[in-house]
């Protein structure tokens, strides 16, 4: 039986919606010690290409906490070497910075400038366009001839975690989208399903999506500590494959637990975008106390003894 184009289109859209719904059911779940946010597999654009064939398709993001470290992992098609583009800053398009908002639950979203004492940032891609401004004051001469000269200059911040950061968007400087709504409209036009993982695209978290571009880079912040880049997760239990997240690139980094949120417990919202805004992800998480391995082992033994005792009582 031949199907009309309209019926084919309906079936295709239904299948795509079902696939994405299946992903969302699993998003934000704990698996092998990692908390995952799984993004849509059909919302990363490269020209008129979306999905698996796009170099900007983001599949998922995850984090894992131990007593001393917090690990972040990313699965996507975008290489840390960047996407060559002569019309973009530095001649390529890379990852933006990872932002972590530790504002108290129920507090209003960060303002359009995306800055504040609760906002931390991690620069993990050495090829991206993050720039800070340095102000230098120099006094010359003496007496009535004394002059104070203030100069400003730009510099590239080192890789690491920063506190009290301010974010900006460089999407239009990297052949990208002027607004987040423009990206959503493009995905709809191309037949994809847009998502930010743990947050819907209709969110007002980033401001007015019809006017706001994706926050991509830090422009200011206080350095707290370095990060350790990771490409081998053997022994850490990372398993994006459990969610059918099969991007060509899997990498991550760890940061000292004591630096995040000043070592305090608390929930956070993390977001990451490509420098062009062609795709992005949001991850909701919470930092908690993690017991010592010896304590965990001890609790396991106690649990086993209790279970054995109950079985003997029932026998």
84-110 per-position pLDDT tens digit? 999 999 999 999 999 999 987 555 556
Transcribe the chain into DSSP letters.
-PPPHHHHHHHHHHHHHHHHHHHHHHTT-EETTEEEEEPPSS--EETTEEGGG-TT-EEEEEEEE-SSEEEEEEEES--TT-EE-TTSGGGEE-B--EEEE-PPTTPPPP-TT-BSTTEEEEE--TTS---EEEEEEEEES-GGG-EEEEEEEEEPPPSEEEEEEEEE--SGGGT--SSHHHHHHHHHHTT-----BSS-TT--TTS-TTTPPPP-EEEEEEEEE--EEES--TTTT--GGGGT---SEEEEEEEEGGGGGGG--EEEEEEEEBTT-S-EEEEEEEE-----HHHHHHHHHHHHHHHHHHHHHH-
The pTM score is 0.82
According to the model, what pLDDT value does residue 17 have?
36
Average pLDDT over every residue of 60-80: 97
2-23 per-position pLDDT tens digit? 444 443 433 343 333 333 333 4
Domain locations in the chain as residue ranges: 26-126+158-314
19-49 per-position pLDDT tens digit? 333 344 334 579 999 999 999 999 999 999 9
């Amino acid at each position: 039986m031949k199907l009309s184009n309209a019926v084919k289109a309906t079936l295709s859209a239904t299948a795509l919606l079902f696939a994405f719904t299946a992903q969302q059911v699993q998003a934000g779940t704990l698996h092998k010690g990692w908390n995952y946010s799984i993004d849509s597999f059909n919302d990363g654009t490269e020209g008129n290409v979306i999905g698996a064939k796009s170099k900007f398709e983001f599949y998922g993001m995850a984090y894992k906490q131990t007593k001393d470290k917090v690990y972040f992992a990313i699965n996507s098609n975008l290489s840390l070497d960047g996407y060559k583009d002569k019309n973009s800053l530095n001649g390529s398009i890379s990852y933006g910075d990872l932002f972590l908002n530790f504002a108290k639950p129920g507090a209003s979203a960060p303002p359009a400038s995306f800055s504040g004492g609760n906002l931390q940032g991690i620069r993990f891609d050495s090829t991206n366009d993050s720039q800070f401004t340095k102000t230098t004051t120099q006094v010359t001469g003496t007496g009535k001839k004394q002059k104070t000269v203030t100069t400003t200059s730009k510099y590239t911040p080192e890789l690491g975690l920063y506190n009290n950061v301010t974010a900006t968007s460089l999407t239009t400087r990297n052949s990208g989208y002027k607004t987040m709504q423009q990206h959503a409209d493009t995905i709809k036009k191309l037949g994809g399903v847009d998502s930010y993982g743990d947050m819907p695209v209709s969110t007002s978290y980033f401001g007015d999506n019809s006017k706001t571009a994706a926050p991509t880079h830090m422009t200011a912040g206080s350095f707290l500590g370095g990060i350790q880049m990771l490409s081998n997760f053997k022994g850490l239990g990372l398993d994006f494959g459990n969610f059918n997240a099969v991007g060509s690139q899997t990498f991550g980094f760890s940061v000292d637990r004591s630096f995040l949120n000043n070592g305090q417990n608390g929930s956070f919202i993390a977001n990451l975008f490509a420098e062009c805004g062609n795709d992005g992800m949001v991850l909701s998480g919470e930092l908690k106390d993690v017991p010592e391995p010896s304590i965990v082992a001890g609790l396991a033994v106690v649990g086993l003894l209790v279970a054995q005792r109950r079985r003997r009582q029932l026998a």
